Structure 1
Amino acid sequence: MVFLPGPQYAPLDPIPDDIPISEFMLNEKYGRTPHAQSRDPFTCGLTGKSYSSRATVDRVDHFARGLAKELGWAPNRGTEFDKTVGVFSVNTIDAVPFFWGVHRLGGVVSPANAAYSAAELKYQILDSGAKALFTCVPLLSVALEAAALAGLPKNRVYLMDVPEAIMGGAKVPSGFKTTEQLAEAGKSLPSLEPLNWGPGEGARRTAFLCYSSGTSGLPKGVMISHRNVIANTLQITAFEKYHRASQPLTNGQPLHTDVSIGLLPQSHIYALVVICHAGPYRGDQVVILPKFELNVYLRAIQQFKITSLFLVPPIIINMLRSQDVCSKYDLSSVKTLFTGAAPLGMETALDFQKVYPNVVIRQGYGLTETSTVVSSTLPGDVVLGSSGCFLPGVEARIMTPEGEEVTSYDTPGELVVRSPSVVLGYLNNEKANKETFEDGWMRTGDEAVVRKGPNDTEHVYIVDRIKELIKVKGLQVAPAELEAHLLTHPAVADCAVIAIPDDAAGEVPKAVVVKSASAGSDEDAIEAIKKHVQDHKARHKWLKGGVRFMDAIPKSPSGKILRRLLRDQEKEARRKAGTKL
């Protein structure tokens, strides 16, 4: 049974396959909101510095010219992988215009996680084949170490301009060229020849090389084509078209447009596509913050009258646990909260709704391998705990572990999807490609169920990663479900649930907990936490593996719990104790 988008959404417009992302995003003939009616696409939430929609067009052109001169690149010479740049930086208002400048030359952008160590960054530089690395002063020491390890010359390390407030008093060191210098130089250089692409070339050429662990294993370079990003931008636009058209206009705008928070890492596919491409394409303004700091984030909402929050569950939980701070700011401009990257538990969503009853909580689901969004919710069709409905252009199947296709609702299995946003594959990794992609379909590695919602629409629920599900006497326990429940207990500030071996049950759940300030002694807190689960959950979900306390739960920048690291720690502890591994 193939699950399809409902008829309630606008049809998907034709997806151009012969242009780069830069042309699609900057040229009005491809359906973007006219420049004259668009808000400033990118605004710095620290300094207020902003580029208008028309100024962004010039900015991209200047970056492209400056890069072409500096690196000896030309739009129609060489393959895209001859023109790959790595970007290792905190968020900036120049990042996405710079990305589009690389695309104007037919090159590839490989954004790296700003939390990477030198060894991790070295791996990505070498694996991607980056010819240059663009970083920022706060990350320069790590970038230089990684570049040296990867054999990248120091004169191919460049600096992106970031606000002085995050420089820690440091100055731009001599000997490094900056993106601002490249743009300034580009102003006086000759115009570039247009990219001479034929039909299908935008679908074949890689635009972004983002790194993902996929369903398993080491990080892999995900080859995201120009058409993939264009497709998902159009899918999001079609999905939300009728709703946005019905919204009241604000501040004299000729169209309904939003002011969104650009807080999530621009290296992550969620921020990269949903916030930084779909938003500006529809005329929205993105207020960029380099990283999450609660007071800075709240101040930006108040100052710029943010209407849409794009967040991950850890930030939402932080807000709920910091009401003494949040209550000092005017957050009344916020109309919607969109959460993704990791499941938001229903208990947390209900708690947020109690504190902010006028904010609509939306949740979406997607992956790097689908160029982001597969499903999403709309105001008026929100079912808490659901990841919403499939976007126009998406086809989905639910497959049992035996490889049979599910043909009914409420039956769990692995979610397998086909969409114009499904990527080209993994770079130089045929084994992973064969495991993940087949005939245009992508195995997500996530267990899901489809259910009919109150509006008779089909909603998808993501249960958990298949390889992270805990099997207790053959019964499945989803760590995400227990984590969401544990977070409602006052003794729990943060948590993760993992499986540990058990002779009788095969596996049992164990909670790794960060205690809240109000928690009592370890012994009392453990008993209270166990009882909290026993009072509300079936016996096979009880914390028979116990409770362990730690100072912080290891997570990726997008908020995903690094359970593999916790399992490794647990395995090592059990090895030392001489117990079953």
Structure 2
Amino acid sequence: MVFTPPAALTPKLPEIPDLPLCDFIFDERYGRHPIAKSRDPYVCGLTGKSFSLTEQKDRVQCLARALAQEMGWEVNGGSESDKAVCVFALNTIDIMTINWAILRLNGVSSPANAVYSAEELNYQLTNSHAKAIFTVTPLLPVALAAAAKAGIPSTKIYICEMAGHERIPEEFKSLTQLIQAGQKLPELEVIRWSRGQAANQAAFLCYSSGTSGLPKGVIISHRNVIANTIQVCISEREPRLKLDPNYTQAVLALLPFSHIYGLVIIAHCSTFRGDAAVVLPKFDLQNYLKSISRFRINSLLVVPPIIITMVKNEKLMGTFDLSSVRYVFSGAAPLGQETARELAKQYPTWTIRQGYGLTKTCTAITSSHPDDIWFGSSGCVLAGVEVKVIDAEGNKVTGYDQPGELLVKSPSVVMGYLNNDKANIETFVNLPEGRFMRTGDEVIIRKSQKGNEHVWISDRLKELIKVNGLQVAPAELEACILDHPAVADCAVISIPDEKSGEVPKAFVVKSVSSKNQSDNTTRNDILKHVEQLKSKHKWLRGGVEFMEAIPKSPSGKILRRVLKEREKAERMKSGVKL
């Protein structure tokens, strides 16, 4: 059985236009909010600095001209993979200017997580064949170290200004300098595409943690982003019309633009709707609340750990004017029913919604509709999306309240993984109803009291750990831990954490050479080893526990379920809240 969007809540998806994303986002012919009535698209949440939509469009063109000259690139010469650029930065009001300028050159942008270590960034630079890097001053040391390993000269590292870090080392060109140089250069030639190229040309190469260890490059086409922008925005249009046909709003742009949630749901959708995205480089509760009050933010697009922080700081929240808030939208991980109810109790006028999506579905597949909120649910299927549920035996689930793996068909489902045939075969399947993507997530389809089908995420079949919305692959950490001479074998699982949602914990079998070393010494050595090589969110905050042997199946697969049950029993025994 194929589950589709509820007709009562979801408009029909229009034809997806076939054009470059950098043109689509500024083109009124495809449903975007009129440019003359749009707000400044990006506003710095710390300084209030912004550019108008017309100014941003001009900045994109000027930056593209300068970048073409810097790199010796032609708009219609070479493939997009020949013009790959890594954007390794914290959020600023110019990140999307950089992304769209890269696309204006028929290039591909590869956003990198700002918490990456030099080793992790080097892997992405090398795997994506990036030719240049845009970064910010606080991340420059990591960018330099990674670029040196990847063979990218320092002259191809460009600095984007950000609040509090305006001073840029003289040996590097700034974004402003590039744009000023581009103002004096001739206009670029028009992008020349063949029919259907939007679906077959990469716009972004995002890296998604997998269960096999190293992150995998996900190839996202221009059409994928255009499709999801339209899918999300038409689902918002009807509630907006009830307010005012010309309604625009201020939305929070705190989540990283390197993450698919920030890149598509916040950046592209807000610009298409004519909204103002109030940009913050990182989460700080005081600055977060000040920005909501100062800029009269209407929609908070956040992740569950931020909502938990809000709920636990009710007194502080009460000292700020948050009366402008209409919507809270949670994504990247399931939002617990109790947390949602508590926030609703504290702020009964707020509409609290939740969505579900993946990098490989670029982005949202489901979303709560304001007319049918059901706490704990990830909402209803969006326009143009079809989903199937397959049980553990591979049979199609045809009814409600039956768990199974979620499979998705949508024009936003990505092209595939970069140079990874095995992962492509495992993830993307051709069925009689079309090409579906296996999510690896267990879901249950339930009917709400209003008769609409809702998707509930019941378990993660994949073994990813989500720390504050950031993904951690156990296999990647296990490979790192096994490099330590004191370790003979290991396994990593997720354990619940009140602050971060989940954190990694390692179970370790000591090597023969370390048997005589104290557990505390070995434990500290392993913790330091991981901290030196991995990003902060991958550190073993759940601790290290020693075992005589790691439980495994006859085929050698780690039985994480056994370890999780053991952990749960120990926590219950010690009285730790689960």
Letter in 1 for 2:49: K
Letter in 2 for 1:27: D
Letter in 1 for 2:175: T
Query: Where does residue 505 of structure 1 map in the other structure?
Result: none
1:183 to 174, 179, 193: 179
2:355 to 358, 361, 364: 364
Residue 459 (str. 1) matches residue 454 (str. 2): yes
Deviations 1:282-332 (A, max 9, x none): 111100111111111110000000000000011111111222322211111
Deviations 1:80-136 (A, max 9, x none): 001000011100100001111111110000000000000000000000000001111
Residue 276 (str. 1) matches residue 267 (str. 2): yes
Q: 1:299 to 1:499 in 2, by over 3 A?
A: closer
Residue 574 (str. 1) matches residue 558 (str. 2): no
Query: Where does residue 12 of structure 1 map in the other structure?
Result: 13
Shift of 1:31: 1.9
2:371 to 380, 384, 394: 380
Query: Where does residue 314 of structure 1 map in the other structure?
Result: 305
Q: How does 1:209-358 map to 2 (within 5 A)?
A: 209-214=205-210, 216-247=212-243, 249=244, 255-358=246-349
- Give, in whole Å, the separation in 1 of the partners of 2:499 and 2:117: 27
1:434 to 422, 425, 431: 425
- Give, in whole Å, the separation in 2 of the partners of 1:275 and 1:430: 31
Letter in 1 for 2:373: V
Task: Verify the 8 A CA contact 1:84 1:130 in the aligned structure 2.
Answer: yes
Query: Where does residue 518 of structure 2 map in the other structure?
Result: none
Query: Where does residue 71 of structure 2 map in the other structure?
Result: 71
Task: Verify the 8 A CA contact 2:504 2:541 in the aligned structure 1.
Answer: yes
Letter in 1 for 2:145: E
- Give, in whole Å, the separation in 2 of the partners of 1:497 and 1:290: 23
Q: 1:58 to 1:497 in 2, by over 3 A?
A: closer
1:443 to 438, 441, 452: 438
Letter in 2 for 1:574: M
Task: Verify the 8 A CA contact 1:10 1:241 in the aligned structure 2.
Answer: no
Shift of 1:69: 1.1
- Give, in whole Å, the separation in 2 of the partners of 1:128 and 1:109: 10
SS in 2 for 1:26: coil
Deviations 1:207-250 (A, max 9, x none): 00000024653210000000000000111122222222112x4x
Query: Where does residue 98 of structure 1 map in the other structure?
Result: 98
- Give, in whole Å, the separation in 2 of the partners of 1:92 and 1:233: 21
- Give, in whole Å, the separation in 1 of the partners of 2:408 and 2:66: 40
SS in 1 for 2:186: coil
Aligned-pair identity in percent equals 51
Query: Where does residue 30 of structure 1 map in the other structure?
Result: 30
Query: Where does residue 384 of structure 2 map in the other structure?
Result: 393
Deviations 1:358-398 (A, max 9, x none): 11110000000000100001112100000000001101000
Query: Where does residue 396 of structure 2 map in the other structure?
Result: 405
Letter in 2 for 1:274: I
- Give, in whole Å, the separation in 2 of the partners of 1:330 and 1:356: 12
Letter in 1 for 2:424: N
- Give, in whole Å, the separation in 1 of the partners of 2:153 and 2:464: 45
- Give, in whole Å, the separation in 2 of the partners of 1:469 and 1:57: 38
Query: Where does residue 470 of structure 2 map in the other structure?
Result: none
- Give, in whole Å, the separation in 2 of the partners of 1:318 and 1:62: 41
- Give, in whole Å, the separation in 2 of the partners of 1:469 and 1:215: 7
- Give, in whole Å, the separation in 2 of the partners of 1:239 and 1:281: 13
- Give, in whole Å, the separation in 2 of the partners of 1:391 and 1:558: 34
SS in 1 for 2:414: coil
- Give, in whole Å, the separation in 2 of the partners of 1:128 and 1:493: 34
Aligned residues: 498
Letter in 1 for 2:97: P
2:168 to 167, 172, 180: 172
Shift of 1:565: 5.6
Query: Where does residue 205 of structure 1 map in the other structure?
Result: 201
Q: 1:497 to 1:451 in 2, by over 3 A?
A: farther
- Give, in whole Å, the separation in 1 of the partners of 2:464 and 2:188: 53
Letter in 2 for 1:13: P
- Give, in whole Å, the separation in 2 of the partners of 1:371 and 1:216: 21
Shift of 1:6: 1.5
Pick which of 450-459 and 5-14 moved more. Answer: 5-14
- Give, in whole Å, the separation in 2 of the partners of 1:162 and 1:438: 43
Gaps of 5+ in 1: 471-484, 502-549
- Give, in whole Å, the separation in 2 of the partners of 1:34 and 1:362: 27
- Give, in whole Å, the separation in 2 of the partners of 1:495 and 1:227: 33
Q: 1:31 to 1:200 in 2, by over 3 A?
A: same
Letter in 1 for 2:368: T
SS in 2 for 1:246: helix
Q: 1:230 to 1:499 in 2, by over 3 A?
A: same
Shift of 1:269: 0.2
Gaps of 5+ in 2: 466-494, 508-526, 553-561, 564-578
Letter in 2 for 1:69: Q
Task: Verify the 8 A CA contact 2:299 2:326 in the aligned structure 1.
Answer: yes
- Give, in whole Å, the separation in 1 of the partners of 2:548 and 2:409: 43
Task: Verify the 8 A CA contact 2:446 2:453 in the aligned structure 1.
Answer: yes
Q: 1:495 to 1:370 in 2, by over 3 A?
A: closer
Query: Where does residue 50 of structure 2 map in the other structure?
Result: 50
